[in-house]
Structure 1
């Protein structure tokens, strides 16, 4: 029987590269996402920890300063992978999600268990939005529509994700980029789009049709690395960041959604690996994200923060250098 013809890429068309085969993106020397049978095996295992229906942050929602100038760098946790970065007079959002669920369905799927650390109405003027990939807990079209209407920010995203956003939010000021590209923002500010080990999909028939990435934000106040969502991949991409960028004032790294390891390891690093990654990329400080807001995997809600503390102690790293941020928490990074 003839092999089934591969579906054309609905989001992106371009020449093959070391991470694009002409139709689909892939992780060089890396691992593919699990098969559907693996997903079923995990979902039917019955080992998922129970989360509370509500888990309020100890920090009250905050009203950020309008701007942070000079050499200061301020980070405010909104929730999951949504953070407000304020530095060099710029307000930058990462993977903005204000919706109550991260799902294609409004009535089902992972639900927020704590309020956003900044109410949407209290956001300062947003200049730049970084969207790392198209999974629903990172690319939230409802939030992007709200940002377009109120702030009209510039959006940077990896290849193919622009097609998804543009179809739902016409007129959004947006550019799509490949790994290794540099985008000059102005006033000695640039954003670099960098490789991470992950995958992409909005449904069952568009796997790996859009690229995934991390970002390095380069300003006079130093470099900030937002890794988006990533597996550890033997530390390869962290080593690359050190080789290319030297060192970072801050790395924003995922620490949650890592169990069970047999299924999640290629796509989600655990806290111990996050600490290794911080050291490998030469980050002076790190903020832990991607935990405690949406139940995506098997580990208990507070385990990522606990495991992070244990990993820092085991690797003889001061606890204050790597903080597991909670919604509403503000960090003026040294």
Structure 2
């Protein structure tokens, strides 16, 4: 039995080492993500060396980033929401598997279950009807009695309660701009999610990584690039939760707490 390891690479990208396998969530690995600039350290090649499977939560360009996927290779196994496989195949990826909420894929000792997510699944945004579209997902990763929930992008939904308890919840607490659109967790609502999930520990993600060039120099954006995880931790404390907030800067290893069996 191997000790799990977790690395927050920035935005929604995490490297999860669990059950003898390595999963990479929503990889954004380059300096530019479309019109957005990376304002956190760019991962080096070691961050994605040895990856066994890539998990894509939805089709938005800051989660399904084609240039980053190409860095991983056309033959990298990629798990996508059902309905997105043919679109990725057209872009040259040869090992794509689709999954719907409630379905599980087993890779060695690692089980990956797709979960519901409340978020637009359209490639170009919630108001458009043309182009690729598939439901947004989260993922529950399980091995050796350890459970890690990666939310992707989502708002609160009652079914979170059925996913718990989890050892670690990877919860989005902001985004890349001065405001949040529908289908996102604010720091306060992320704390509510931690409660629903009965999360033993939570890693705030989806913050401090991407910004509109020039805008990140404004006073508001300078605050928003650092404050959301602190605000999340504040709400966790105010709610009296036992969840340990693992505030980790983009590009850093997550210091996981000592293991405790679920009661």
- TM-score normalised per structure 1: 0.68
Partner residue of 1:170 out of 83, 87, 93: 93
For 2:69 and 2:161, locate their aligned partners in 1 and report how far apart those are by CA, in whole Å: 32
Q: Which moved more, 1:287-296 or 1:190-199?
A: 287-296
For 1:290 and 1:164, locate their aligned partners in 2 and report how far apart those are by CA, in whole Å: 25
Per-residue deviation, 1:169: 2.5
Over the aligned positions, Cα root-mean-square deviation in angstroms equals 2.4
* Stretches of structure 2 lacking an aligned partner (at least 5 in a row): 258-263
> Which structure 2 residues correspond to residues 102-121 of structure 1 after superposition, within 5 A?
102-103=33-34, 109-116=35-42, 118-121=43-46
Q: Does 1:191 align with 2:112?
A: yes
Partner residue of 2:72 out of 131, 141, 147: 147
Task: Look up the match of 1:249.
Answer: 167
Partner residue of 2:50 out of 118, 125, 133: 125
Q: Does 1:95 align with 2:59?
A: no
Per-residue deviation, 1:218: 1.1
Per-residue deviation, 1:74: 1.1
Task: Look up the match of 2:102.
Answer: 180
For 2:102 and 2:123, locate their aligned partners in 1 and report how far apart those are by CA, in whole Å: 24
Task: Look up the match of 1:11.
Answer: none
SS of the aligned residue for 2:16 comes to strand
Per-residue deviation, 1:258: 9.0
Q: Deviations over 1:187-207 (max 9, x none)?
A: 3x2111110100123334437
For 2:145 and 2:5, locate their aligned partners in 1 and report how far apart those are by CA, in whole Å: 11
Kindly name which structure, 1 or 2, has the bigger radius of gyration based on alpha carbons. 1
Per-residue deviation, 1:303: 2.1
Change (3 A) 1:87 1:138: same
Partner residue of 1:268 out of 184, 198, 207: 184
CA contact (8 A) 1:98 1:120 kept: no
Task: Look up the match of 1:279.
Answer: 195
Task: Look up the match of 1:35.
Answer: none
CA contact (8 A) 2:25 2:56 kept: yes
SS of the aligned residue for 1:166 comes to helix
Q: Does 1:227 align with 2:151?
A: yes
- TM-score normalised per structure 2: 0.84
For 1:78 and 1:175, locate their aligned partners in 2 and report how far apart those are by CA, in whole Å: 24
CA contact (8 A) 2:176 2:209 kept: no
Tell me which protein shows more strand as a share of its residues. Answer: 2
Change (3 A) 1:258 1:273: farther
* Stretches of structure 1 lacking an aligned partner (at least 5 in a row): 1-69, 104-108
Q: Deviations over 1:7-29 (max 9, x none)?
A: xxxxxxxxxxxxxxxxxxxxxxx
For 1:260 and 1:114, locate their aligned partners in 2 and report how far apart those are by CA, in whole Å: 17
For 1:221 and 1:96, locate their aligned partners in 2 and report how far apart those are by CA, in whole Å: 26
For 1:279 and 1:79, locate their aligned partners in 2 and report how far apart those are by CA, in whole Å: 24
For 1:209 and 1:223, locate their aligned partners in 2 and report how far apart those are by CA, in whole Å: 29
Q: Deviations over 1:153-197 (max 9, x none)?
A: 3211111222222111332x111111111112223x211111010
For 1:285 and 1:206, locate their aligned partners in 2 and report how far apart those are by CA, in whole Å: 40
CA contact (8 A) 1:87 1:221 kept: no
Task: Look up the match of 2:260.
Answer: none
CA contact (8 A) 1:97 1:138 kept: yes
